[in-house]
Structure 1
Amino acid sequence: MGYVTSLFPRKVIAAVGPVVDGPNLLRGLGLEPDAPWDPKIMVPVTVYYDMLERIAETVDPTDLPLKVGASMRCDEYGALGLAWKAAPDLMGSLARIERYARVWTSVVEYELRPDPRGVLLVLQRAGARRLGLRLSNETSLASAVSIARQVSPVPFAPLEARFQHPPPRTLTHHENWFGCPMHFDSDLDALLISHEAARQPNILGDEGITRFLISHLDEELSEIAGEDTLETRSKAAIARALSEGLPKMADIARGLGLSARSFHRRLSEQGLSFQTLTAETRRELAEGLLRDERYSLAEVAFLTGFSEQSSFTRAFKRWVGRTPASYRKVHGTG
């Protein structure tokens, strides 16, 4: 199950106002209405989507993501918000969003993608395109614009904003907030930011503070509780796909809510490669299946992505130094 920071639902309810029963909605998320706002407290993303959709039954949600985005403040994000401020330029702030988004959500990945006109800040979120997810995507990119405006010494607007879902009944609210052309039914959820804006020095850019905060955030990332590592999630996805043959990196990345480029980059940062992960997954899965004698050798070969048992036998002997049949004699449990 994915999670998002409780800051988002609290901001949503504050933006809607007394039209809805805010305290009751917060309690439905497991939050105490009068408790301090702590961005480190997480809520299940599906429950958050449910809350957004319940609110949409009461009020027109067209401009709700924009109100929430406008209300976001760097300081409310703790060390991450300070790291955005202290980055030398807007590109540095965007790079921190790309790297440290997992501090406040486990369901969204950001990717900086080169574009002839500048750089794309691409938002990647897996899941069915239900209303709650669509509103959440708009909120996330509206928040990114709000943060960019807070760190920039000059007025900021992206060159364009893109969303994969259909447009609302009117674009007026979005055009006024983003200050740029809007493209719905797009192939991406993204902001296109000009080279000039990306190079704009931040108001409070400070290299010394940045080094301290980055060290703190790296430590915080490593201590995030209850989240499987990228290696673990990748191996699980590869194992599920092997019965259809050797999976492609792009397909596994898509299932994890990442682009192939972002997936490759994140694996490389951890000293991993997709080819190595696939080989390790096949070997580990084969060893586990061979211990269970309910599976025939032919079935083990099929479930580990081999079209022929002979190919599996040769690969397994290369991996562990003995044939599958010999391994089963020693390790099988019956």
Structure 2
Amino acid sequence: MGVVTSLFARRMVAAAGNRVDAAATLAAVGIDAGAPWDPRQMIPAEDYYRMLEGMAEQFDVTDLPVRTGASMRLDEYGALGLAFKAATTLRASYARVERYARLWTSVVEYELRRETGSTLFMLRRAAERRLGMRLSNEATLVSAVSIARQVSPDLVVPLEVLVGHPGPQSTEAHEAWFGCPLRFGAGLDAIRFSDATLARPNILGDEGISRYLATHLEEELSRLPVAPGLVTQARDAIAQALSGGKPRMSEIARGLGLSARSFHRRLSEHGLSFQALTEDTRRDLAVGLLRDDRHSLAEIAFLAGFSEQSAFTRAFKRWMGTTPASYRRSGVGR
């Protein structure tokens, strides 16, 4: 499981008020309630979801995500919050979130998807939709509108809000906050904005400052490693799909709960590409299978995604400098 910024946990507990023991609740996830708030302090997402589920056992949490999301302030997000403010338009602000959200969390992907006359600001979280995740997703959607209203000269009202999971018994608090049609059980989590809304200039937008902050964020992003889980899961998914031919990036990304665009970005930020990852996976799979005499060369070619054994032989010679048959006879790696 990945991590999320401690800022989210602190805001949830603050929104709960005296209905929970703040110090004990935060201590349970490794946060010192008396220490300064630091968005760079990360906590396991599993602990965060468990914390929210524990709060749900103590009081009615129906409107907790709304109160939490509405209370989020850009000044608490560090350089990313400043970059959101300094972007020249609301679309540019959300583009900052799309690219740099990994500085907040490793479990959520954001995407701006253009459609005819509107744009979806989407969030994806690839895991079981347990109660803690549902509460977190709702708070994230609310906070996305909250921070937009902090930079826009006019009230930001979406065209509609889509929530992937079924809604609570009452959605009055959600509807009052968003001020637009709200659809639970939609199968995805997203906010639809008109293009005119996203084209609005921000109050403090400044192109020069925005470029400077983007450079700073790029440096921070470059220091983040690719999540080992993502690479491992991608390799496993590619290996399983190879017997059906060379897999498509969109198919592997979808299986990981990501868009192709987000998957490509996660890899390219650290010098990886889907093509290279697929090639490496094919090579490693083939090498491993050649060490097992139970598989014929034709079977290995098929399992590695080659329609013809001759194509497999050419690829293997390019990879290893020898043919599959010679590699097997040499006994390398046994």
With the length of structure 2 as denominator, give the TM-score of the two structures: 0.90
- 1:288: how far off? 4.4
Work out whether residues 50 and 132 of structure 2, in 8 Å CA contact, stay in contact via their aligned partners in 1: yes
Partner SS, residue 191 of structure 2 = strand
Partner of 1:154: 154
Residues 88 and 163 of structure 1, relative CA distance in 2, 3 Å threshold: same
* Distance change (3 Å), C-alpha of 1:178 and 1:331: farther
Secondary structure class of the residue paired with 1:164: coil
Asked whether the equivalents of residues 226 and 270 of structure 2 are also in contact (C-alpha less than 8 Å), the reply is: no
Q: d(CA) in 2 for partners of 1:295 and 1:17?
A: 64
Query: Structure 1 stretch 293-302 or stretch 15-24: which is displaced more?
Result: 293-302
Aligned to 1:201: 201
Q: Percent identity?
A: 60
Q: 1:31 to 1:225 in 2, by over 3 A?
A: farther
Write the distance in 2 (CA, Å) between the matches of 1:307 and 1:279: 15
1:29–1:47 contact (8 Å) kept in structure 2? yes
Tell me by how many angstroms 1:315 deviates: 3.8
Tell me the residue number matched to 2:50: 50
Q: Is this contact kept in 1: 2:226–2:267, CA < 8 A?
A: no
Q: Secondary structure at the match of 1:216?
A: helix
Query: Does 1:259 find its partner at 2:241?
Result: no
Partners of 2:156 and 2:96 lie apart in 1 by 18
Match for 2:223: what amino acid?
A: E
Q: Deviations over 1:254-274 (max 9, x none)?
A: 233311343346656777653
* Two-structure CA RMSD over aligned residues (Å): 2.6
Separation of aligned partners in 2, 1:229 and 1:56: 29
What TM-score do you get using the length of structure 1 for normalisation? Answer: 0.90
Q: 1:280 — aligned with what?
A: 280
Quote the residue 1:94 is aligned against.
Answer: 94
1:191 aligned residue: 191
Structure 1, 14-23 or 229-238: larger mean CA deviation: 229-238
Residue 163 of structure 2 is matched in structure 1 by 163
Give unpaired runs (5+ residues) of structure 1: none
- Per the alignment, residue 31 of structure 1 pairs with 31
Q: Aligned-pair distance for 1:247?
A: 3.2
| Gap change, CA 1:261 and 1:222, over 3 Å in 2 | closer
Structure-2 change in CA distance of 1:181 and 1:320 (3 Å): same
CA distance 1:29–1:294, shift in 2 (3 Å): farther
Gaps of 5+ in 2: none
Match of 1:111, SS? strand
> Which residue identity lines up with residue 77 of structure 1 in the other structure?
Y
8 Å Cα contact 2:98/2:110 also seen in 1: yes
Task: After superposition, give the CA deviation of every residue in 1:236-292 in whole Å (9 maximum; x if it has no partner).
Answer: 5423544665433233102333113433466567776534432232013323444x4
Aligned to 2:81: 81
Distance 2:305 2:26 in 1: 46
Provide the residue aligned with 2:61 in structure 1: 61
Partner of 1:186, secondary structure, is: coil
1:47 deviates by 1.2
Q: Distance in 2 between matches of 1:178 and 1:171?
A: 11
What are the Cα deviations for residues 200-258 of structure 1, in whole angstroms up to 9, with x where unaligned?
A: 11011111211111011001011125734976763354235446654332331023331
Counterpart in 1 of 2:15? 15
